[in-house]
Chains A and B, each alone.
Chain A
Amino acid sequence: MSAIVASSPGHLSRLSFGGILRSEWIKLRSLRSTAWCYAIVIAVTIGLGALYSLNTQGQGLTADDIRGLAVGSSTLGVNFAQLVIAVLGALMITGEYGTGMIRSTLAAVPKRVPALIAKCLVFGVATFVVSAIALAGTAVASWLVLSNNGIHADFFDGRVLLPLLGAAGYLALIGVLSLALGAIIRSSAGGIAVALGLILVAPLILRILASVTRAVWPVNVSAFLPNSAGGLLWAYTSGPTAPAQSGYIVLTTLQGGLILGAWVIVAFVIAAILLKRRDA
């Protein structure tokens, strides 16, 4: 029993936000699902980008076409990667509810909200970095394949580089949004269903509604959904936006990014309030 006395945890130790961040970083790293999901994101993004580039021919392309091609091939995988990131984001917190880990987490951080903030920050930053690596890898692969096909794209052109960075930011925000949704729902199946429903199913339903009713509003509502508003962050824009068709809402890249940001903030605030109020 002398061990209890021999090694005290140190008198300076106390709860700090830096410590909570470190704790969440250890948690993120120490699960196999994290490594698997991130590996899939990187593989899918690079693989799809390279495949897309392979099937392009260089004849008669304008500089604008080439930039569009560079962005398009590099971000093709984002549509798939976002589903993996959404699942992983929801699991970040629902996995804790499912296993009971959340009680250990909240016993260590009894004010609760700092733990949620730390989780969102760590997961958001990690996802941004992994996505940036995936997109950089895709850019290199696309550049190699396109060069081989006689197309010389400049990936350091701002009109190419910014959408690639935007794609990494988009994936990070989608991940944090899913994490917040998971914190609200608290079950893995439910959290994943809601996150994927919002990203995948809601736009589909609105599109069907639009084509059946021939109304404008489903299209306009759809423009404000996380994936379409946020999608503007990684869309290639050739120049000044084309004049909008009457009645249809056209958002700028900045507006799209802000709308996705608003989704994340609203979901986070609801999650934080519920976390604070509910019994763990």
Chain B
Amino acid sequence: MIEAVGLTKRFGQRTAVDDVSFTVRPGLVTGFLGPNGAGKSTTMRLITGLDRASAGTVTVNGKPYAEHRAPLREVGVLLDAKAVHTGRSARNHLLALAATHGIGRKRVDAVIGMAGLESVARQRVGNFSLGMGQRLGIAAALLGDPATLILDEPVNGLDPEGVIWVRNLVRHIASQGKTVFLSSHLMSEMALTADHIIVLGRGRIIADAPVSDILAQAKGAGAVRVRTPDIARLTGLLGEPGVVVTNEENVLEVSGITAAHIGELAAHAGIVLHELTPIASSLEDAYLALTQDDVEYRSTDEGSAA
């Protein structure tokens, strides 16, 4: 369980996280979405106390992270895959972290096995690929068998097998009643992995809802594909404000109006339709629709985009 209230982080003039409040609940995989520079990583660093909040509070399992007697057992965190000394072997890195909490070698070898790093565990991390570094970071996050798992871009750099591994892993951990909070810029991945999504844009929460709600909300904004022998007349009928019609090789793509409405208009005018298909919107569309709503914000901040 992660609870943030009025969380704010300013770096000089720039406000990276702006009065953000949210709750990440146990038993679910909560996705954290947002464009680069939206403040996702900063928020995760605030949760684990690596950055000090300028205002507001954030607790993990009821207490600030630093107040826990066994922080690694409360929260496992992958902040970025580079939080490892390149001169040390993967196993020694994990042994050193485990030692702080008196976690034994057996657990270290177990997480090495879970992450599929057995063959490279004694190699220096400096020689690791991005994907292997990512696996090591996830192994480190799992060391304390934590009640809450925070993963910043866990599938970044992973091969397809690794992506599936992470997906199954976080679903399994959430099914044990634990809290999972992971950020990603891959919306398609989120659609498959997350139950709940928090969308962050320019340091503020744009959406905080179950994945199904966000997808449903986006349906209305989705486009409709229309085929008709009478393109000119239909296009004329659809000339309402807010309706956009694009014609590509005699297939119309209409947005800003529902398929039902198009069908009614055509029927009234006696126009034959050969196809009338709502284009299923992806989470990507939903996400873009959400962030596009944030127009005011965008235009004012365009110049200082990070």
Contacts and interface: CB of A to CB of B under 8 A. Distances in A.
Interface of A: 1, 3-10, 12-16, 18-20, 22-24, 26-27, 30-33, 95-96, 99-104, 106-111, 277, 279-280
Interface string B68-87: 11111100010110111111
Contacts of A26: 92, 95-96, 99
A23 B99 CA distance: 5
A108 B82 CA distance: 16
B102 A279 contact: no
B97 interface: yes
A104 B140 contact: yes
Contact of A1 (B82, B83, B140, B168): B168
Contacts of B55: none
A101 B103 contact: no
A19 B72 CA distance: 13
A15 B69 contact: yes
Contacts of A101: 83-85, 88
Contacts of A95: 85, 87
B32 interface: no
A30 B88 contact: yes
Interface of B: 45, 48-52, 65-66, 68-73, 77, 79-80, 82-89, 92-93, 95-104, 106-107, 110, 113-114, 140, 142-145, 168-169, 172-173, 176
B171 to A, nearest CB: 9
Nearest to A279: B51
B89 A9 contact: no
A116 to B, nearest CB: 13
Name which of B85, B87, B169, B176 has the most chain A CB atoms within 10 A of its CB: B85
Nearest to A26: B96
Contacts of B173: 4
B72 A104 contact: no
A107 B168 CA distance: 25
B84 A100 contact: yes
B110 A107 contact: no
A32 B87 contact: yes
Nearest to A110: B66
Given A4-B173, A99-B85, A108-B71, A16 B96 contact: no
Contacts of B110: 3, 6-7
Contacts of B103: 9-10, 13
20 contacts: A1-B172, A4-B114, A4-B169, A6-B110, A7-B107, A9-B101, A9-B143, A12-B102, A26-B96, A30-B93, A95-B87, A99-B87, A100-B80, A100-B83, A106-B50, A109-B71, A111-B66, A277-B52, A280-B45, A280-B51
B9 to A, nearest CB: 9
Q: Which 9 A-B pairs have the closest CB atoms?
A: A110-B66, A30-B92, A14-B70, A7-B110, A23-B99, A101-B85, A22-B99, A103-B83, A26-B96
Given A4-B172, A280-B51, A9 B107 contact: yes
A23 B92 contact: no
A95 to B, nearest CB: 6
Contacts of A110: 48-49, 65-66, 68, 71
A194 B49 CA distance: 29
Given A3-B113, A4-B173, A13 B102 contact: yes
B44 to A, nearest CB: 11
A111 to B, nearest CB: 6
B50 A10 contact: no
B88 A27 contact: yes
B39 to A, nearest CB: 14
Contacts of B45: 279-280
A23 B96 contact: yes
Given A4-B173, A107-B48, A107-B79, A15 B72 contact: yes
A216 to B, nearest CB: 46
A19 B107 contact: no
A104 B101 CA distance: 13
A22 B101 CA distance: 10
B236 to A, nearest CB: 59
B60 to A, nearest CB: 10
Contacts of A20: 99-100
A107 B89 contact: no
A14 B97 CA distance: 12
A99 B73 contact: no
B50 A280 contact: yes
Nearest to B101: A13
Contacts of B93: 30, 104
A277 B88 CA distance: 28
A270 B113 CA distance: 42
B114 A31 contact: no
Nearest to B168: A1
Given A4-B145, A23-B100, 8 more contacts: A3-B114, A19-B99, A32-B87, A99-B82, A104-B83, A104-B140, A110-B68, A280-B50
Nearest to B84: A101
A103 B83 CA distance: 6
Contacts of A111: 66
